[in-house]
Amino acid sequence: MTQNFKSIAIVGLGRVGTALAVLLWRQGFRRLRVCDPNPAKVKALEGWIDGPVTVCPTPSETVVGAELVFLAVQDRYIADVADNLAEFVPGTDMAGLFFAHLSGSLTSAVLQPLAALDAITFSLHPLQSVADVEGGVKVLAGSYFSFEGDEQAFPVAERVVAALSGNLVRLAAADKVLYHAAAVVSSNFFIALEEMAITMMTGIGVDADTARRMLLPLIRGSFENLERVSPAEALTGPIVRGDDQTVAAHLTALQEKFPDYLKAYRLLAGLNVDLAKRKGVVSDADFPSLNLEP
């Protein structure tokens, strides 16, 4: 992709910020300005990029000379960084500069101090799970990104996301929190459920690492089903078969060994019943063990 900006600045070299810097560099955005108070993170970035990157000691110096600035800091710091930049970037005309943060839950309103100086502000959130820089470099390309903010910034977001071979979706500011909650349910809650399953396996004497490896093919199979068909069609197991006897046995086993998991099992089983009902194969009455409301 042809470079569209003379210089891009990234303030914050956490997992996402570093991965973004690496991917932009690989796509021809070679005039990168970066800043992070942790020298180890700067050194780590330099290990990923085969070429010169301008490392700045402060966020304000990072912004000077840049046309597009990403605030890749944790959510709790975005407002403070925006305030400081609005106050302490000497001799820089903010009009026409683009500022974005990468938060999934916060809107572009958190960048209001910069917008008040005629900067163009937006949020650009990668809908992806990034546990480390290496993983981020692998998964950010091709991901979905959500855009919210000043419409003047949408073409800029399109260029960046296109460079990452990603997909861009517009969000209203009022919808960002629910959007982020959906992402948490899909990603973070899923991990908690797998920990729950692994722990249950340890209850029958399987060590945790073996349990994790045993469950991974099952998880992948479920993901592949969901890629092909809707959640209702992808559902397998005792509930879609109307097998309350097995469900009741599960509840008994949990009561004996993992009673703290009963509430979660009942809730999730109820949601599975709702999915199975869409197929017209079961009803609430088929599962007396769950005591479902009619």
Angle between helices 208-228 and 190-202 (to 10 degrees): 140
DSSP symbols for 155-218: HHHHHHHHHTT-EEEE--GGGHHHHHHHHHIIIIIHHHHHHHHHHHHHTTT--HHHHHHHHHHH
Q: Are residues 22 and 81 in the same domain?
A: yes
Integer-rounded Cα radius of gyration of the chain: 24
Q: Are residues 162 and 260 in the same domain?
A: no
**pLDDT bracket for residue 2 (50, 70, 90):** very low
- 122, 138, 171 - which closes a domain: 171
Summarize pLDDT for 126-173 with one digit per residue, the tens. Answer: 999 999 999 999 999 999 999 999 999 999 999 999 999 999 999 999
**In which residue are the tokens 């710091």 written?**
77
pLDDT given at position 93 = 76
Q: Domain count of the chain?
A: 2
Give domain status of residue 277, yes or no. Answer: yes
Q: Are residues 153 and 280 in the same domain?
A: no
* 277-286 average pLDDT score: 92
- What does residue 282 show for φ and ψ, rounded to 5 degrees? -140, 170
Q: Where residue 90 sits, what CATH number does that domain have?
A: 3.40.50.720
Geometric angle at alpha carbon 194, from 188 and 196, rounded to 5°: 105
pLDDT given at position 294 = 54
Average per-residue pLDDT in the chain? Answer: 93
Distance CA 140, CA 173 (A): 23
More confident residue, 293 or 26: 26
Res 1 pLDDT > 60? no
- 171, 198, 232 - which closes a domain: 171
Give domain status of residue 2, yes or no. Answer: no
Q: Are residues 25 and 148 in the same domain?
A: yes
- 171, 195, 230 - which closes a domain: 171
Q: Are residues 39 and 61 in the same domain?
A: yes
Summarize pLDDT for 191-204 with one digit per residue, the tens. Answer: 999 999 999 999 99
Distance CA 32, CA 23 (A): 11
Range of the domain at 127: 8-171
Summarize pLDDT for 64-91 with one digit per residue, the tens. Answer: 889 999 999 999 999 999 999 998 776 6
Of 92, 88, 36, 91, nearest to 66 (Cα)?
92
Q: Are residues 28 and 89 in the same domain?
A: yes
pLDDT given at position 4 = 60
Residues 6 or more apart whose CB falls under 8 angstroms from that of 294 comprise 284, 285
Give domain status of residue 228, yes or no. Answer: yes
**pLDDT bracket for residue 30 (50, 70, 90):** confident
